[in-house]
Amino acid sequence: MSAPVSPPLIATLLVACPDRKGIVASLAQVLYGHGANILDADQHTDPVAQLFFQRIRFDLSALTTDRVLLEAALREVGERFAMNWRLAYASQVRKIAVLASKLEHCLYDLLVRHRAGELACEIAMVVSNHAEPGPIAAHFGVPFHHLPVTADTRAAQEAQLAALVDGAGVELIVLARYMQILSADLVARYPARIINIHHSFLPAFVGANPYRQAYVRGVKLIGATSHYVTAELDQGPIIDQATIDCSHRDSVDDLVRKGRELEKRVLASAVRWHLEDRILVYAGKTVVFD
Amino acid sequence: MSAPVSPPLIATLLVACPDRKGIVASLAQVLYGHGANILDADQHTDPVAQLFFQRIRFDLSALTTDRVLLEAALREVGERFAMNWRLAYASQVRKIAVLASKLEHCLYDLLVRHRAGELACEIAMVVSNHAEPGPIAAHFGVPFHHLPVTADTRAAQEAQLAALVDGAGVELIVLARYMQILSADLVARYPARIINIHHSFLPAFVGANPYRQAYVRGVKLIGATSHYVTAELDQGPIIDQATIDCSHRDSVDDLVRKGRELEKRVLASAVRWHLEDRILVYAGKTVVFD
Amino acid sequence: MSAPVSPPLIATLLVACPDRKGIVASLAQVLYGHGANILDADQHTDPVAQLFFQRIRFDLSALTTDRVLLEAALREVGERFAMNWRLAYASQVRKIAVLASKLEHCLYDLLVRHRAGELACEIAMVVSNHAEPGPIAAHFGVPFHHLPVTADTRAAQEAQLAALVDGAGVELIVLARYMQILSADLVARYPARIINIHHSFLPAFVGANPYRQAYVRGVKLIGATSHYVTAELDQGPIIDQATIDCSHRDSVDDLVRKGRELEKRVLASAVRWHLEDRILVYAGKTVVFD
Amino acid sequence: MSAPVSPPLIATLLVACPDRKGIVASLAQVLYGHGANILDADQHTDPVAQLFFQRIRFDLSALTTDRVLLEAALREVGERFAMNWRLAYASQVRKIAVLASKLEHCLYDLLVRHRAGELACEIAMVVSNHAEPGPIAAHFGVPFHHLPVTADTRAAQEAQLAALVDGAGVELIVLARYMQILSADLVARYPARIINIHHSFLPAFVGANPYRQAYVRGVKLIGATSHYVTAELDQGPIIDQATIDCSHRDSVDDLVRKGRELEKRVLASAVRWHLEDRILVYAGKTVVFD
């Protein structure tokens, strides 16, 4: 059922830097020189921002040197080209925390997908301000933390949350229809490390009750948007979006039902892509290598 | 190629009224009593607004009375239930005017579809403030009117336009990427009789340059929206919407190209549905019977 | 969470009969005459087969007579027009059985949707030839029956299954990626009462391993199909279908992952529509009233 | 309107070869060594077939050597890695021939898109066995050749066609709903150089009247497929596919109308991708670099 998602001897390199001649050749040369075999490589140049982005997935099993030397060589190239780079080994299991509310469809969805081997990570914990997700986490064998919150206790609750997350070595926080707005402080602590699902096709219908807003406006499609959380509400870099047709027949409840479908899908894809090191953030947008 | 789209002995009844028991039975009884055979019937009740809407398409070929008596009977039912109703005979060819600019993809699209028999109407004229659409109209055998316009001559130009439209008995004005904003006066003259295409998934990206706005925001899908024109810009009742995926690879030009696809499709469907009497407008929204 | 899906005083009438004048008027008259208020009505005429189909949803709360008299009147109309008709009261909870294998995504999906109030039924049991679905059923509070099967014991196992299904008053059997082929006898026992999901866009890739077939052929989209089960494998009346883009980058495993998405969606819609009395079967096809 | 689609100093390299370490580094080194700047690079490895594919788009404007030396260096690398490679300069305008019938929607679509600058080519001719496309070609300023055909004259007509195509230096033949089946000889003459549109989601509904086949089977979506033509009917490598929902309401004529939409779209994308050197064919399938 849950076969190992990524074989252990694979690494992924993500690079962003000012565009210049020779970047591709230099990186390819370093990898080739150390015996790494490139499995996939994808690149993008933003001609307006004059930036270069690349994702390289390579096989380490026939490395002729070792990881220390390879990383040193990458560091040298990185300095030469003023690169922002990150290297991830598939053998190093990533940890995520899922924050949930009483709306359980996204929570179930992530847990079932994880169990089917779709998400290359350990779900280190489910956290909620409600008790209800507890039995769900238990069914999937995931630790659960109940952290109730009121307007007055927000700071303390967020401190508890941060302690749990940091204590467990969690890399990514997933807001699975978590209905609390995180403080600017908490958001700043985890840049491009918190993924949220907003139940509209942003930038339409920012804020509360987007399905009701959609109903009132009489749109003929509704959407959902997964994005990294930033200080400004619903303004973070968009990772994935999807829409579905609707009509005059759809009540607000129908829109909610149809929307759940989209929410699950675009949240799961965002989490999967993050875990597969496919996403780079710049200028309030994302590059998502497929 | 262009077979007659609608057989001549068919009529379509569109009804809107306060919801009440007995409406369906009364209308069905009138039609049955006069020998009309119902081909399609679709209805909708808005439980919030407590309104009833119905579209009935029926065959007149075996009418046991005549149209005058049938219409009188419908008028009686209409008064009894405070109905807003409209009866259209397929034998009566509708006329439309297409307003175009130098962006010719929607203009071509409508003309080619008309030629293929998709639009049950006569395209009575193509009108533009540019000369370029002239040869296109000519190729399809449609009269062309070149009505240049400047900020100073808008009122006069719109008067000419209205004269042309009214003189020809045009029922529907289609703005096929016509780049001029119509005056409130002109819009008021043709309520629910002007269809526009806006090149975004409204209500996102209202106003100018929506593809550029989409590019800057970094959305992962773009859209197009056809709607009836009202006094407030891009706020009219939405008829159809569609979206298509995009990515970081798409330049503004790519978005424009992808968007043309959607614009053509949702404008054509809106025009087709209008001509087939499928659309009812209320509360700033549309009911579109499929 | 799981609010009552259907208010109790609503009924749905499904009708199929030879097309003739007066059907709509007669049915509407019967309902009106007994004080029923039509909430939705949808009809379809197949001009080739000369058949008429209708679905009417109506409110019984202000009935001026009673159900017995209403049903007698419907029976009279039904005989007059040679109707095949069926009346379902929302107050009468339907029971379904879900047959599962080790592939658990569709099973989870149905159970989670049911819990969210999307499926108007009681899930009376989960049945499997494997033990694995047991804990899943238990988590959702649904009885589980483990019925192992071999080639030699098929007849006996199916007899047990039928006894369970009939004993519990199950109306609909859902094959949620159940990997056993049912015998012709069992299928014949439940006409238009067994829904299956096939993991391709039928009629392409009938039979085993459709994702591998798709990979080998190099298609650019994959699909899933929900259908009623008939004696001939993968040939039953299609209820819903969906597709998703794929590319040369997708391995068979990627296709399997993408396909799960579709399988869940089209199986759930088929079950929901069946339970809402939206489906009529004729000529090996379905009418699905939306 | 029809701005130059591709700036002149850009080239695209397409490569296919057995997978081996060092390919990426070698090619990148050659380009860098000659002063070429990589704009886009995309690669794919088929782990089953153990083949490597790459598309590199690069800027020649700052070449430090010249094209002759660059090509010689590529040839050397190509030999070393047993590459099948092809280099195309954007400055070299490609020529295509469009073969049409009386069904004109795809023909119009390609001509309008070309005029909008979507297709980086010269449409050297429109050819048909019917006279009707003549005025359409004329409107767009494209030479038209009327080549009538009967069962008896097929060989002669195809010889005329080949003479026209070869005489004009046409690289790609586009069958825009051309209703004639080409002989095996003609097909063999233009391997991976003839693109056809089939009006179903292959491999479903091979052969004649796919929309009628779809109607009879009662599918809930219809599709269209663009593919390279090979000797076996409708079996060539698939380039693009799309589907659209349909329902019991759709007559065969409705399916035909809906299908036109898809046919136009997937034929145009196939032609565009071919002209942008995005397609590689192997094992009866395509790699399409986006």
Render chain B in DSSP notation, one character per residue: ----SS-TTEEEEEEEEE--TTHHHHHHHHHHHTT-EEEEEEEEEETTTTEEEEEEEEE-TT-SS-HHHHHHHHHHHHHHTT-EEEEEETTS-EEEEEEE-S--HHHHHHHHHHHTT-S-EEEEEEEESSSTHHHHHHHTT--EEE----TTTHHHHHHHHHHHHHHTT--EEEEES--SPPPHHHHHHSTT-EEEEESS-TTTT-SS-HHHHHHHHT-SEEEEEEEE--SSTT-SPEEEEEEEE--TT--HHHHHHHHHHHHHHHHHHHHHHHHTT-EEEETTEEEE--
Q: Write out pLDDT tens, residues C26-83.
A: 999 999 999 999 998 999 999 889 999 999 999 999 899 999 999 999 999 999 999 9
CB-CB under 8 Å, D108 with B108: yes
Q: Between chains, do A24 and D43 touch, taking CB under 8 Å as contact?
A: no
Distances (CA, A) of D98 to C230, D91, D207: 45, 22, 21
Across-strand partners of D121? D94
Given a cut of 60, whether residue B207 has pLDDT beyond it is yes
Closest Cα partner for B140 from B121, B165, B113? B113
Considering only residues A8 and C235, tell me which one the structure prediction assigns the higher pLDDT: C235
Taking the C-alpha atoms of residue C213 and residue C200, their distance in angstroms, rounded to an integer, is: 10
Rounded distance between C-alpha atoms, residue A7 and residue A88, angstroms:
13
Q: What is the pLDDT of residue D1?
A: 39
pLDDT at C290 over 90: no
Query: CA neighbours within 13 Å on the CB side: how many for C41?
Result: 28
Give which of A38, A50, A61 to mutate to test D binding, by max D Cβ within 10 Å: A38
Pairing of strands D37-46, C285-288: unpaired
Distances (CA, A) of C217 to A246, C236, C261, D202: 34, 24, 21, 9
Chain D residues whose CB is inside 8 A of the C219 CB are 201-203, 238, 241
Q: How many CA atoms lie within 13 A of C13 on its CB side?
A: 30
CATH (one of 3.40.190.10, 3.40.50.980, 3.30.230.10, 3.30.70.260) for D10-89: 3.30.70.260
Residue A284: list chain B partners with CB under 8 A: 217-218
Dist CA D11 CA D28 (whole Å): 14
| Residue B290 to residue D105, Cβ atoms within 8 A | no
The SS3 call for residue D82 is: coil
**pLDDT tens column, D223-249:** 999 999 999 989 999 999 999 999 999
Residue reference for tokens 């210049």 = A20
**pLDDT at site B4:** 46
Length of chain A: 290
The single residue of A234, A240, A250, A277 carrying the catalytic annotation is A234
What are the Cα distances from residue D173, in Å, to D166, D193, D201?
A: 11, 6, 22
Structure tokens at A166: 């940091």
CB spacing of B22 vs C29 below 8 angstroms: no
- Comparison of pLDDT for C183 and D40, the residue scoring more: C183
Which chain C residues are within 8 Å of A261, Cβ to Cβ? 265
pLDDT, average across residues A145-172:
97
Report CA Rg, chain A: 21
- Confidence label for D3 from pLDDT (cuts 50, 70 and 90): very low
CB spacing of B283 vs A248 below 8 angstroms:
no
- Cα–Cα distance between A202 and A4 in angstroms, integer? 35
Identify the burial level of C191 via C-beta atoms within 10 angstroms of its C-beta, where 0-12 means exposed, 13-18 middle and 19 or more buried. Answer: exposed
Q: Determine the pLDDT at residue B233.
A: 87
Rounded CA-CA distance A105/C110 in Å is: 11
H or E element at residue C57: strand C51-59
Rounded Cα–Cα distance for residues B250 and A203 (Å): 18
Report the alpha-carbon distance of residue C2 to residue B274 in Å, rounded.
40
Q: What is the domain partition of chain A in residue ranges?
A: 10-89, 95-288
For the packed helices A105-115 and A252-275, what is the interaxial angle rounded to 10 degrees? 40
Pairing of strands C37-46, C10-18: unpaired
Whether omega for the bond prior to residue B203 falls within 30 degrees of 0, making it cis, is yes
pLDDT of residue B264: 98
Q: Which chains pack against C, by 3+ Cβ pairs within 8 A?
A: A, B, D
Long-range contact list for A109-112, CB < 8 A, 24+ apart?
A: A109/A176, A109/A264, A109/A267, A109/A268, A109/C112, A110/A174, A110/A176, A110/A267, A110/A268, A110/A271, A111/A136, A111/A137, A111/A140, A111/A142, A112/C104, A112/C105, A112/C108, A112/C109
Q: Is the ipTM of this complex over 0.90?
A: yes
Average pLDDT, chain B: 95
Note whether A66 and A52 are within 8 A (CB).
Answer: no
pLDDT in tens, A50-70: 999 999 999 999 899 999 999
- The answer to whether A226 and A270 have CB atoms below 8 angstroms apart is yes
Within 13 Å and on the Cβ side, how many CA atoms surround A220?
23
Q: Of the spans C60-69, C156-165, D58-67, which averages the highest pLDDT?
A: C156-165
With bands split at pLDDT 50, 70 and 90, how would you rate the model's confidence at D24?
very high
Predicted pLDDT at C233:
87
| Dihedral angle, C-alpha D198, D201, D202, D204, nearest 10 ° | -120
Residue A1 scores a pLDDT above 50: no
Q: Do the Cβ atoms of A93 and A170 come closer than 8 Å?
A: no
Contact flag C24-B32 (C-beta cutoff 8 Å): yes
Cis status of the peptide bond prior to D133, with omega within 30 of 0: no
Of B25, B41, B45, the CB nearest to C43: B41
How far is the C-alpha of A9 from the C-alpha of B138, rounded, in Å? 66
Q: Which residues of C touch B24 (CB under 8 A)?
A: 24, 28, 32, 38, 41
Burial bucket for residue B66 (CB in 10 Å: 0-12, 13-18, 19+): exposed
How many whole angstroms separate alpha carbon D111 and alpha carbon B112? 12
Under an 8 A CB cutoff, do B112 and D118 touch?
no
**Does residue A7 carry a pLDDT above 70?**
no
CA of D290: which chain A residue's CA is closest? A290
pLDDT at C50: 94
Residue D60, amino acid: L
Tokens of B102: 């130098």
| Tokens read off for C281 | 């079967």
For range D188-199, the mean pLDDT: 97
Instruction: Say whether pLDDT at B44 is over 60.
Output: yes
Residue C3 confidence (pLDDT) above 50: no
DSSP, collapsed to helix, strand or coil, labels residue C189 as helix
The pTM score is 0.96
Which residues of B fall within a CB distance of 8 Å from C42? 42-43
Q: Contact, A137 vs A91, CB < 8 A? A: no
Q: Where are the alpha helices (DSSP H) in chain D?
A: 23-33, 67-80, 105-115, 133-139, 154-167, 184-189, 210-217, 252-275
Q: Encoding tokens for residue B74?
A: 């419908």
Q: Cα separation of D162 and C176, whole Å? A: 54
CB contact under 8 A, C38 and B42: no
The shortest C-alpha distance from B257 to chain C (Å) reads 20
Which chains sit next to A, with 3 or more Cβ pairs under 8 A?
A: B, C, D
Determine if the peptide bond prior to D203 is cis (ω within 30°): yes
In A, which residues are within 8 Å of C118 by CB distance?
Answer: 257
| Closest of D185, C168, C57 to residue B43, by C-alpha | C57
The mean pLDDT value of chain A amounts to 95
Taking CA–CA distances from B116, the nearest residue in chain D reads: D105
For B3, B6, B230, B265, B268, the CA distances from B119, given in Å and listed in that order, are: 11, 10, 24, 13, 8
Q: What is the chain C residue with the closest CA to A117?
A: C257
Q: Which residue has the higher pLDDT, B132 or A4?
A: B132
Tokens in use for A43? 């690149």
Q: Which helix (H) or strand (E) holds C29?
A: helix C23-33
Q: Is residue A6 over pLDDT 50?
A: no
pLDDT in tens, C94-109: 999 999 999 999 999 9
For residue A213, the distance in angstroms to the closest alpha carbon of chain D comes to 27
pLDDT band at B7 (very low <50, low <70, confident <90, very high): low
Sign of the alpha-carbon dihedral angle for B162, B164, B166, B167: positive
Look at the block and give the residue holding tokens 């007059």.
C80
Residue in B285, B271, B238, B280 with CA at minimum distance from that of residue B107: B271
Size of interface A-B (CB pairs under 8 A): 89
For residue B140, pLDDT beyond 60: yes
Closest alpha carbon to A282 in A12, A19, A30, A56: A19
Instruction: Give the tens place of pLDDT for each residue, B144-171.
Output: 999 999 999 999 999 999 999 999 999 9
Angle between helix axes C252-275 and C210-217 (nearest 10 degrees) is 130
pLDDT digits (tens, 9 = 90+) for A191-221: 999 999 999 999 999 988 999 999 999 999 9
> Residue D7: which pLDDT band, with cuts at 50, 70 and 90?
low
List, in order, residues 6 or more apart from C121 with CB less than 8 Å away: C93, C94, C95, C96, C114, C172, C275
**Any idea which architecture C95-288 has in CATH?**
3-Layer(aba) Sandwich (3.40)
The subunits that touch chain B, with at least 3 C-beta pairs less than 8 Å apart, are A, C, D
Q: Do D223 and C219 touch (CB under 8 A)?
A: no
Position B5 pLDDT exceeds 60: no
Nearest to D32 among A21, A45, A62 (CB): A21
Show the tokens assigned to C80. 């007059």
Verify whether the Cβ–Cβ distance D218 to C237 is below 8 Å.
yes
Contacts of D205 in chain C (CB under 8 A): 203
